[in-house]
Structure 1
Amino acid sequence: MCRSLQRGRFHAAAAVLGRKTGAEHRWLERHLKDPFVKATKQQNYRCRSAFKLLEMDDKLRILRPGLSVLDCGAAPGAWSQVAVERVNALGADPTVPTGFVLGIDLQHISPLAGAVFLSEADVADPATLRTILSLLPAGKVDVILSDMAPNPTGIRELDHQKLIKLCLGLLDLSQSVLKPKGTLLCKFWDGQDSRLLQGRLKEQFQDVRTVKPQASRKDSAESYYLARLYKGK
């Protein structure tokens, strides 16, 4: 789920209660000055995180027309918006292949033209996996995207471990839904278990690199692992 969506709910609650902490005031001031927040409104993306994927895709060509994409932790749908555009899921350009985008999240996701959404669904649930497989046109996808994050506890190391566990779960998911030579892009927070995740990725993908988009805030511990050329069957 998008961080700004979580923050937005917190701000709304704080406003109702008529009190904000100093940290909240500082976050709100930074948020209002953020050029990516302004661009989000101007370009009608659902969340500023869209610019992280746009930047990474511009540099690394993760998405191409005709590819099928599974967007994990999709709410509110900004990464799916980018994916729909980049894989030509709406068939807007008849000169290139038409792709497919399936998004999934524990939260509700508002409908988006060109994407299929599974709202209030747990990607780790076997029943959800069966539904995913039934919805994929070719049975598997070319790309798995994940901007997933656990609900923060405020304990940095615990939150880090929980996110790494989510990413490791994506590796298990890959065995069922990712095509050979496919791509996995997943967010992680830096910490002692990052190398564990990196090592597991290198076992299953031929090319693994760390990416830190400029759209990620400088004080954020988040980075992304881009794993390419899946070795699975």
Structure 2
Amino acid sequence: MTEPHGPGGQRSTTTRLRTAKGRTTASQKWLERQLNDPYVKAAKAAGWRSRAAFKILELDERFKLFHPTQRIVDLGAAPGGWTQVALRRIGDRGKVVALDILPMEPITGAITLQGDFQEEATERAVLDALAGQADLVMSDIAPNTTGHNATDHLRILALVDLAADFARRVLAPGGAFVAKVFQGGTERELLTGLKQDYASVRHAKPPASRKDSSEMYVVAQGFRGGASARNR
């Protein structure tokens, strides 16, 4: 089956909302953007839980992230768009663990866990659910933005660093790690560590990422494994 990889060739119309009592200007703009976003509409039409599904589809087209029989961990999985894509791409011979600190509606075919990936008990639960080490750890986690670019950049880097440490502990040799970052690049220490641990480390901004968004993704492939990486 061929999944739709993004909107195109459709005549666009603009939906404007009347200002509702009690709605802030920022909220008004966000709602109008959602209503007029072609990726939001395409996600609904395709049955994806979020427009973010197109981002991982586009990253997969470029980097060939998914393979049959993979064991995959989706960090911060809610609402589940990336998990849906992973399940579709690997078929019924692999395993996908969808982990989020908040409750999440189950997805048929995925193992849904609630917990903090920084906690040892949660990490054990993930490995038990996978019945082995992971082949791919993916993270679309992002903190709530403050509007202050420097602060937001530091907060997302802190999350990426934690997710990267988790990946080092659970990945099998040859595995891959994909995570959201902000433009400005990953911090030198983090990037240096990733280059030491993986054969290939690249940045990408998939077309589904909004043009006015500073988000990018770091894609690290070919995990070298070993005690040095896991204890970094």
**Is TM-score (shorter-chain normalized) higher than 0.5?**
yes
Q: 1:116 aligns with which of 111, 120, 133?
A: 111
Where structure 1 has 5 or more consecutive residues not aligned to the other structure, the ranges are 1-13, 92-97
Q: Relative to 1, partners in 2 of residues 1:34 and 1:192: Cα closer, same or farther, differing over 3 Å?
A: closer
Are the equivalent residues in 2 in contact too, given 1:67–1:99 (CA < 8 A)?
yes
Please, what TM-score do these two structures have when normalized by structure 2?
0.84
How many angstroms does 1:183 deviate by? 0.4
How many angstroms does 1:136 deviate by? 1.3
Aligned to 1:175: 168
Q: 2:151 aligns with which of 142, 154, 158?
A: 158
Does residue 76 (structure 1) correspond to residue 79 (structure 2)? The answer is yes
What are the equivalent positions in structure 2 for 1:84-123 lying under 5 Å apart? Answer: 84-88=87-91, 91=92, 98-119=93-114, 121-123=115-117
Are the equivalent residues in 2 in contact too, given 1:206–1:230 (CA < 8 A)?
yes
Aligned to 1:4: none
What are the equivalent positions in structure 2 for 1:1-233 lying under 5 Å apart? Answer: 18-88=21-91, 91=92, 98-119=93-114, 121-137=115-131, 139-191=132-184, 194-233=187-226
Please, what TM-score do these two structures have when normalized by structure 1?
0.84
Q: How many Å separate the matches in 2 of 1:68 and 1:231?
A: 17
SS in 2 for 1:103: strand
Q: How many Å separate the matches in 1 of 2:169 and 2:193?
A: 17
SS in 2 for 1:229: strand
Q: How many Å separate the matches in 2 of 1:85 and 1:183?
A: 18
* 1:175-222 deviation digits (Å, cap 9, x = unpaired): 321010110001101247534332221121110111100000001110
Where structure 2 has 5 or more consecutive residues not aligned to the other structure, the ranges are 1-18, 227-232
Q: How many Å separate the matches in 1 of 2:77 and 2:39?
A: 19
For structure 1, which segment, 62-71 or 166-175, has the greater mean C-alpha deviation from structure 2 after superposition?
166-175
SS in 2 for 1:173: helix
For structure 1, which segment, 39-48 or 160-169, has the greater mean C-alpha deviation from structure 2 after superposition?
160-169
Root mean square deviation of aligned Cα:
1.7
How many angstroms does 1:23 deviate by? 3.2
**Count of aligned residue pairs for this structure pair:** 208
Q: How many Å separate the matches in 2 of 1:175 and 1:187?
A: 17
Q: How many Å separate the matches in 1 of 2:165 and 2:214?
A: 25
Are the equivalent residues in 2 in contact too, given 1:185–1:226 (CA < 8 A)?
yes
* 1:31-58 deviation digits (Å, cap 9, x = unpaired): 2111101111101111110010111112
